[in-house]
Amino acid sequence: MVTRGKVVRVRIALLLAPALICVCSSAATSQSSGDLAAIKRFIKNQEAKHSGRAYEDYQSVVTGDLNHDGVNDAAVLYTMEALDSNNYVQYLTVFIRRSGHLVPVASEEVGGKNYRTADLRLIRNGLIFFDTLDYKDTDASCCPSIKGQTRYSLVGRKLKEVERPLKDR
């Protein structure tokens, strides 16, 4: 009977383990200095690549598991302003955690002047959620006004915009 009790307890512990990991990963919203340094380094390189400037005031980071390995990854939204014009583009870059370090794996344009404004909200169920503002015909370039939402998922090494089911709209 004692042996049977032990087996049961071990099984319960195994069942609980994934739940505990989920709680930990959703609660871990702060980023370590190493993570932030990796993100900063990446964005600095993008500034050179795009001949632009990405102001820290227009950057946001959310964490959550994006490749379904139970380990928190990071999604970063940053706005690249062109140095030679007043154009700007919003980029989403996903960093996957490998051996404890954040590694950039995919980037996508998710907003920008005369396209839409995207506001990074959170990661849930492997999806990256945004609030958006789209342009109606009479909106000025500065001020899109149609409120919406969208989601992105990491598929391989690409980011794909996911249409929401009609019932959720």
Task: Assess 71 for contact with Ca ion (CB under 5 A).
Answer: yes
For residues 89 and 49, the answer to whether their CB atoms sit within 8 Å is: no
Angle of CA points 160, 78, 41, to nearest 5°: 105
Report the 10 Å Cβ neighbour count for 168. Answer: 7
Q: Which of 69, 109, 161, 163 is in the footprint of Ca ion by CB under 5 A?
A: 69
Task: Assess 73 for contact with Ca ion (CB under 5 A).
Answer: yes
Report, in Å, the least distance between residue 32 CB and Ca ion: 15
Rounded to whole angstroms, how far apart are CA atoms 78 and 68? 24
Report the 10 Å Cβ neighbour count for 43. Answer: 18
Stretch that binds Ca ion, among 15-23, 31-39, 59-67, 108-116 (CB under 5 A): 59-67
Both tokens of residue 103?
């590694």
Task: Assess 35 for contact with Ca ion (CB under 5 A).
Answer: no
Task: Assess 65 for contact with Ca ion (CB under 5 A).
Answer: yes
Task: Assess 67 for contact with Ca ion (CB under 5 A).
Answer: yes
Stretch that binds Ca ion, among 20-28, 67-75, 145-153, 159-167 (CB under 5 A): 67-75
Rounded to whole angstroms, how far apart are CA atoms 77 and 114? 18
| Binding footprint of Ca ion, residue count (CB under 5 A) | 5
Count of residues in the chain: 169
Q: Which is nearer to Ca ion, 65 or 150 (CB)?
A: 65
Give the footprint of Ca ion on this chain (CB under 5 A).
65, 67, 69, 71, 73
